[in-house]
Amino acid sequence: MPPPIRILLQTTIPFTEDDWHIGRFSRLAGVLSAMEGVEVTARNREAPPGQTDPVLGSLDTSDFDEMWLFAVDLGDGLTGEECAAIGRFRKRGGGLMVTRDHQDLGSSVCTLGGVGDAHYFHSKNLDPDASRRARDDQLTRDIDWPNYHSGANGDFQTVAAVGARHPVLTGVDRLPSHPHEGAVGAPAQHPSARVISAGVSQSTGRPFNIAVAFEPSEEGGPAIAESTFHHFADYNLDPSLGAPSFVSEAPGGGFARAPAALAETHRYFENLARWLAGRQT
């Protein structure tokens, strides 16, 4: 029997009830924990601002096989020591899934080598395509670009495979939608990276990237850069589970009406877990 896949689900903020703490990703944790041979640890940061979190700061010496990092901070979520440890973790073959959201939310991931380069923000690591430095979602006026409108929270979007269908997209054509997704792209300086999936804005009709995959290489283990953590949040799978009070957009009910679409999202979670661990999907 192969050894278990040990997964760390980690946010970049300490616990705050009215924010995107790790408890708001409980459905994801449940799906992964139900997989045979998978062990899940879900946690928030446990260090004050500017100090190194004991788990993140020693990730490279841990027994985790992969980390799913939910960058829900305002730009100060990772320290230099943590980034260095995460880099060493990937260098030794560890798998990474790194996701963020609109504008500059989660922009601390820019300090991560490799997969951090795939994330574009409003004031850091701007999209090299200057034409994309413009509003997409026009409804929530206090959120600026990148803010691709793929639909309401609680609804789903159809995603297109880009190039050869990647293993993480096996059996997956629908994922949660969100009113303002962030931006990702394949950085030219990393030849192992390519865009693997794309969505279409419901506001402008413009296509945008959903995910970038980094294949295992001399740089390190497999990694995924995802456009928004809302593809994994409880609220997007079932709005009745609630969201922080600052979420103002009316939710949809697409998943409630289409359980097959929700099953595809669960399969995406499972595919990611296996691929990031180097197991067949």
CATH of the domain at 100: 3.40.50.880
Residue 83 inside a domain? The answer is yes
Q: What is the pLDDT of residues 49-90, one digit of tens each?
A: 889 999 999 999 999 999 999 999 999 999 999 999 999 999
Using the predicted structure, report yes or no on whether residue 48 has a pLDDT greater than 90.
Answer: no
Is 281 inside any structural domain?
no
Count of the separate structural domains present in the chain:
1
Residue 267 falls inside a structural domain? yes
Mean pLDDT of the chain: 97
279, pLDDT greater than 80? yes
Residue 266's H or E segment, with its range, is: helix 259-276
Does any domain span residue 172?
yes
pLDDT higher at 200 or 113: 200
The pTM of the full predicted model, rounded to 2 decimals, is 0.98
pLDDT at 50: 86
In a domain, 212, yes or no: yes
Task: Give 167's pLDDT tier (boundaries 50, 70, 90).
Answer: very high
Residue 222: pLDDT above 90? yes
Residue 133 belongs to domain spanning: 5-276
What pLDDT, on a 0 to 100 scale, did the predictor assign at position 169? 98
DSSP label at residue 80: H
Where residue 2 falls among pLDDT bands split at 50, 70, 90?
Answer: confident
pLDDT confidence of 280, banded at 50, 70, 90? confident
- Rounded distance between C-alpha atoms, residue 177 and residue 232, angstroms: 10
Cα distances (angstroms) measured from residue 46 to each of 53, 90, 252, 276: 6, 22, 34, 25
In sequence order, which residues have a C-beta less than 8 Å from that of residue 20 and are 6 or more positions away? 11, 13, 70, 72, 229, 233, 244
Is the residue at 223 inside a domain?
yes
- Whether the per-residue pLDDT at 281 is higher than 80: the answer is no
pLDDT in tens, 98-133: 999 999 999 999 999 899 999 999 999 999 999 999
Report yes or no: 169 and 196 within 8 Å, Cβ to Cβ.
Answer: yes
For the chain, give the percent of residues with pLDDT over 90. 96
Q: Is position 81 within any domain?
A: yes
- Has residue 62 been placed in a domain? yes
